[in-house]
Every structure is written in C-alpha cells, then in structure tokens.
Amino acid sequence: NAGVMQNPRHLVRRRGQEARLRCSPMKGHSHVYWYRQLPEEGLKFMVYLQKENIIDESGMPKERFSAEFPKEGPSILRIQQVVRGDSAAYFCASSPPNVRGGGETQYFGPGTRLLVL
Amino acid sequence: AQSVTQLDSHVSVSEGTPVLLRCNYSSSYSPSLFWYVQHPNKGLQLLLKYTSAATLVKGINGFEAEFKKSETSFHLTKPSAHMSDAAEYFCVVSASRSGGYNKLIFGAGTRLAVHP
C-alpha cells in the first residue's frame, strides 16, 4: 500500500510565476490536508478538503493560494504570482473516512520544497 | 482554542542515555495528542498518539509518552538514545471538529542531537 505521494519533491520558481503542487492520498483515503512549514518552524494548517469539496480553508492566505481535490486525480495546491515569502516546504496529509465520529490519524507525504528566486 | 508548547528547541544527548522531550498543551476540551518525527529533508512519521485511552502510550522505535492532565503535559521519552534518533520532533495537538476531522496544531519542534 503506497503512502501519500507528493510531486514534485523540489520546485524552483521565479517571482511572479505559478507553482502547482500535487498530492495523491493513500488508497482508500478521502480526506486531504495541506500544511506549510516555513524554515525553522513547525507546520501550519492551510486547508482541508474532501473529494470535490473544500471543508476548511481557514489557514489559507486570502490571495494567490487555492486548492482543489477533484473527483478524479490528485489534490492540487496552486500558488499564483509567487513571492520569495512563499518559499517553504508544503506537506500533504491524508486520512481515511471518519467512522468513529472523531478525527482519524493523518499520514504525511514527503513534502514539496518550493524555492522562489 | 488549542495550542502546544515544546519547551526545548534543541536537546543533545549521548548515545545510550535517556531522551526527554518536553511538551505542554492547552485545549478547551479533551484533546488528541501526537508526536511526529521528521528526519532531514524527509516527511513526517507518526511516532505515537494519545486518544483518551491509556495515559501511557507506547510508540515505535522504543519511544513512549505519558499524558498528564493535571500538568497538561505530554512528554516524549526513550530509555536509551540511538544515533538514528537524531531528528526534529514535533508535539501536536488536535481536537475533533464538529465535522469529524482533525485540524492539527504543531509545536515549533525540538531538534534532537545524539553524540557518540
């Protein structure tokens, strides 16, 4: 059973370009979370999605950032017009459907390290 | 609101000696607590989790943590450090949301160094 997959692992962009980060959850998982880790800091929640629905985007910057989890294919985190401050590691996590009324354990991918020049 | 404080940003131990990584949490209701480990340039691996069952939780690689409600602590310990334990460790708190999902809140991390 493959784990959470993210690609690319490393991404270099110039200021003003777009960055697309992809996340394929574990088989059978329908919940996806995105987190951002700035240098020397812990991870910060960005957004939680289920198939075709954004459930909680309270951690997403209001501008330039968007996320989707289509019916088919991976979840995408999209950053438009990147700036140097967007340089960070972006981690995706997935969890199985909620069956006990509480949150399930999240399993993390290896992350995408974005560098904006 | 939930929060977590890792009391030490860096811990250094000698191989074969005990490890103690300290974590205090704040939660307005019964929390779930986790410890994750991150090796350099790698993803996060779950070490152990507490979800209101036994207060002493055993994890992988010989790690364990004890939930102490009176002290709002969830310290991570290991009796004998190994060189391969050198990594960044994150204490994490969550509370199940009304929609049944976890919004994880991470501590700032503790970097563990293990010396021969």
According to DSSP, residue B96 is labeled B
Give the per-residue pLDDT at B66: 95
Q: Are A44 and A58 in contact (CB under 8 A)?
A: no
pLDDT band per the 50, 70, 90 thresholds, residue A101: very low
| CB contact (8 A) between residue B32 and residue A31 | no
CB-CB neighbors (< 8 A) of B104 in chain A: 33, 35, 43, 45, 93, 106
Residue A56 to residue B101, Cβ atoms within 8 A: yes
Contact B82, B55 (CB under 8 A): no
Q: What is the pLDDT of residues B30-43, one digit of tens each?
A: 788 999 999 887 78
- CB–CB of B102 and A95 under 8 A? yes
Strands (E), chain A: 5-7, 10-13, 19-24, 31-37, 43-50, 53-56, 65-68, 75-79, 88-95, 107-108, 112-116
CA distances from A51 to A67, A100, B66 (A): 12, 19, 36
- Give the model confidence (pLDDT) of A21-79 as tens digits: 999 999 888 899 999 999 878 899 999 999 889 999 999 999 999 999 998 899 999 99
Measure the CA–CA gap between A3 and B35, rounded to whole angstroms: 19
Of A7-16, A92-101, B71-80, the least confident:
A92-101
